[in-house]
Structure 1
Amino acid sequence: MTDRYAAFHARHHADAPLLLPTAWDAASAAALVARGHPAVGTTSLGVAAANGKPDAAAATRVENLDLARRLRRLPVLLTVDVEGGFSDDPAAVAGYVAELAALGVVGVNLEDGRPDGTLAPPELVAAKLAAARAAAPGLFLNARTDAWWLGVPEPLEQALHRARTYRDGGAHGIFAPGAPDDTVGLLAVEVGLPLNVLHRPGGPSLAELGRLGVARVSTGSLLFRAALGAALDVADAVRAGRDGDPRAVPSYGWVQELTGRFGADRTG
């Protein structure tokens, strides 16, 4: 296992949960690094929307690779949301994950939700995980179950069964977005792997989630949606003849400095 892989794995076994903010382009990733975040993920909604494509439709295979290529010079541990791996062929998923690993990516999210709103057979997801683990040993495989996200019957039972199946398939962590607060502690104990949950505004704090046994807390699409909302607020203020709060807007020079400090790797 490389030092970068080992460092990312270790952050899932620390005293406090790993906060994983999510980026959608080179500027957002560089800004998060500049604020001192040692690890950054990507948001599938943000990457898709920024490229004019729908989320969760297996439409951003190329865009994810391009973004990983652009971010490989950043001094950060990068994990990429690959939806369902952009294929139901475990060998194809493994090949894609290996391409990301070759670009310096240290982890991926692989989910069981499908574009039609159903869950993929757990055995198929486990086969994808096993193939990915063989193709990129050490890469942190975060297996996401959408049992709550998609509103399936008996979501807790489904999530626990799937978590165990994915663990047996080679997952290093389990991601359960939408899990109710009163199930998080149970999940953390029962899944047998580091548990990842989604930050929910108004929900438990990082410290509270840590006390429940959570290892990783992701921001999902929140930052991307917040950025869109902030842009709309400024545009509305200008149209209405009002000034927004200048302290909330990064300066032109600061953004330019980010590019100068980190740059974007455009080479193949």
Structure 2
Amino acid sequence: MTAFADLHHRPEEPLLLPNAWDHASATALAGQGFRAIGTTSLAVAAAVGLPDGSPATREHTLRLALTLGKKPFLLSVDAADGFSDDPERVAELARELSVVGAAGINLEDGLGPVTLHARKIAAVKSAAPDLFVNARTDTYWLGDGDLSETSARLDAYQQAGADGVFVPGLTDPVHIAALVKRLAVPLNILYSPTGPTVPHLTDLGVRRVSLGSLLYRRALGAALETLADIRAGRSPQGTAPSYAEVEGWARRSGISGTPARPEAKSP
């Protein structure tokens, strides 16, 4: 079992996975003591003016993984649907992610054919056996939340070799407990401010809790709130990292809770 997989098998402490969108955000989150960091496909795409999951974001996803993969934290990459309907192309992406140091990959079915997604999972596990495959189904995200369909899809993905399964949008404790009972692999739930708390999800048997794009969207929201306060003549509320802290996070050498000392700048 890899170190990343091991984080999914602690009954009293599920993996709480914060999702970063660039080098500074990942380093800042890791500086808070998180051993593993995920990426969020929405933010990676939005940063370059593309829709979430667009095949054109494949290279941007790889570039971010190259930046973060050798850092002193475990990296899981949100790869949407693998940016291709060709399992071999998805497998090639997995190989590249593994080479640059990623520990895991998140692959979503988008409610497409079960057999196609299962083939992608199998191809990825064949190409990069040590890469933790988190197989996502969108039955509660894009569909009508049918538990039977969800179970059938997850069964197929387990059989294809998925190391864990992910059901974003699922917040019903009864349905969560039912899935945990039938699954042979760890269940990943997307945290929702209106859903069960992390302690409640732990009690239900959830082994991984992702934050998805929440931190990125909250950061954008804070920027807009700050601008509104300034425009209205109010002092902005909340906290902001110092210039030196952000510079420290942006440096490529290691992670430290203490900001790097600012260097002298040329005129």
Provide TM-score, normalisation by structure 1.
0.91
CA distance in 2, matches of 1:57, 1:72: 22
Deviates more, 1:222-231 or 1:69-78: 69-78
Match of 1:36 in 2: 33
Alignment of 1:206-245 (within 5 A): 206-245=198-237
Cα drift, residue 216 of structure 1:
0.2
8 Å contact kept, 2:23–2:249: no
Cα drift, residue 189 of structure 1:
1.2
Cα drift, residue 263 of structure 1:
7.0
Unaligned runs of 5+ in 2: 256-267
CA distance in 1, matches of 2:115, 2:251: 46
Alignment of 1:169-180 (within 5 A): 169-180=160-171
Which of 177, 180, 193 is 2:185 aligned to? 193
**What secondary structure is seen at the aligned counterpart in 1 of 2:151?**
helix
Provide the aligned C-alpha RMSD in A.
Answer: 1.6
Cα drift, residue 259 of structure 1:
2.4
**What secondary structure is seen at the aligned counterpart in 1 of 2:251?**
helix
**What secondary structure is seen at the aligned counterpart in 2 of 1:217?**
strand
8 Å contact kept, 1:30–1:262: no
- 1:80-139 superposed Cα distances (whole Å, 9 cap, x missing partner): 0111111111111101110000000000001100xxxxx211111111111100100111
Match of 2:114 in 1: 122
Which of 84, 89, 93 is 2:86 aligned to? 89
Q: What amino acid is the match of 1:9?
A: A
How many residues are matched? 253
8 Å contact kept, 1:73–1:262: no
Cα drift, residue 240 of structure 1:
1.2
Match of 1:10 in 2: 6
CA distance in 1, matches of 2:232, 2:184: 54
Which of 98, 123, 128 is 1:101 aligned to? 98
Match of 2:148 in 1: 157
Classify 1:102/1:26 alpha carbon distance in 2 versus 1 (closer, same or farther; 3 Å): same
8 Å contact kept, 2:45–2:54: no
Cα drift, residue 261 of structure 1:
6.1
**1:50 counterpart = 2:42:** no
Provide TM-score, normalisation by structure 2.
0.91
**What secondary structure is seen at the aligned counterpart in 2 of 1:59?**
helix
Match of 2:259 in 1: none
CA distance in 2, matches of 1:130, 1:159: 19
CA distance in 2, matches of 1:59, 1:229: 26
**1:131 counterpart = 2:123:** yes
Unaligned runs of 5+ in 1: 114-118
Cα drift, residue 203 of structure 1:
2.0
Alignment of 1:141-156 (within 5 A): 141-152=133-144, 155-156=146-147
Q: What amino acid is the match of 2:112?
A: A
Cα drift, residue 72 of structure 1:
2.6
Which of 100, 105, 108 is 1:111 aligned to? 108
Cα drift, residue 237 of structure 1:
1.1
Classify 1:108/1:99 alpha carbon distance in 2 versus 1 (closer, same or farther; 3 Å): same
Runs of 4+ displaced beyond 6 Å: none
8 Å contact kept, 1:125–1:166: yes
Higher relative contact order (CA 8 A, sep 6+): 1
**1:78 counterpart = 2:91:** no
**1:19 counterpart = 2:16:** yes
8 Å contact kept, 1:144–1:175: yes
